[in-house]
Amino acid sequence: MGTSGFDHFQRQPTGCRALYTMTLLILGTGYLFAIIQTFHVHAGRDGKPGLSQTDIQLAYSGSQADTRLETALKGPMSGMIKSEDAAVISGWVRSGAEMKAYQENVLPLMQAHCLSCHGGDTEMRKANPHIPNLDSYENVMKMVKLDTGQDVYTMVRVSHIHLFGMTFIFFIMGTIFLHAQVKPKWLKCLIIITPFIAIFVDIMSWYLTKLYQPFSWVVYSSGVFMTAAFTIQWFTSIYQLWFYRLPEEMADSGT
């Protein structure tokens, strides 16, 4: 250990440097695949190419767009029911489409205005089986799937995999990067700490985006910070492992 407080790559045995290099190569490849995967899953959700903050918003909180029932009530079925009654049905969808509220408020309206055509075995439905059956809670629910994005259970599963996985990756990356010479010291610390903060903030913002869509900006930027830290650590380490000459005074102070 030199007076500088760390063992630079250049003072490490060749075997050790070979190990670091191979680890970096595979981790770098892995990170590239992770970026491709992220693009593949999320890019273009908003209809535009590339990965945008809107894509992330759609992935986590959904489009929140109208359900088929609401679309029908505003469109082709608008003539079948008074608009204030249609508003009762839409309100029921938006407030969570509970069974109890369905029986109290929605079923009577549907009996009065819809089931003559949309009942279990109406002439209309015999003639055209594509007309949805709206005669029960279960059947109506098929028309009221709100797009609320990724479900929380999937997010919990992906969260724990990411938290463990990323900690391993950035612990290994950071441990290798520790042997690089970066000044000032606080900058080196910052580059090491950043990905850990980013992964934590990233994952917390998945859930927050569900509650409040603008948080997708935080998801987006933490990904950018993480990738920046990874790239800096990777290139600095590879460069200093093989191409960098330690300044004279540092080379002397070693061993």
Footprint of ligand HEC on this chain (CB under 6 A)?
Answer: 68-69, 72-73, 76-77, 80-81, 113-114, 116-118, 124, 131-132, 143
Output b/e per residue, 167-204; b: 16+ Cβ within 10 A.
eebbeebbebbbbbbbeeeeebeebbebbbebbebbbe
The minimum distance between CB 104 and ligand HEC, in angstroms, equals 17
| CA dist 174 → 42, 195, 202 (Å) | 28, 10, 19
Query: Please, which residue, 138 or 248, has the CB nearer to ligand HEC?
Result: 138
Query: With respect to ligand HEC, which residue has the nearer C-beta, 118 or 188?
Result: 118
Cis peptide leading into residue 13 (ω within 30°): no
CB of 46 to ligand HEC, least distance (A): 22
Structure tokens, 216: 């997708």
Q: Which is nearer to ligand HEC, 37 or 71 (CB)?
A: 71
Minimum gap (Å) between residue 71 Cβ and ligand HEC: 6
For residues 86 and 238, which CB has a smaller minimum distance to ligand HEC in the complex? 86
Q: What is the dihedral of CA 143, 149, 152, 157, to 10 degrees?
A: 120
CB of 28 to ligand HEC, least distance (A): 48
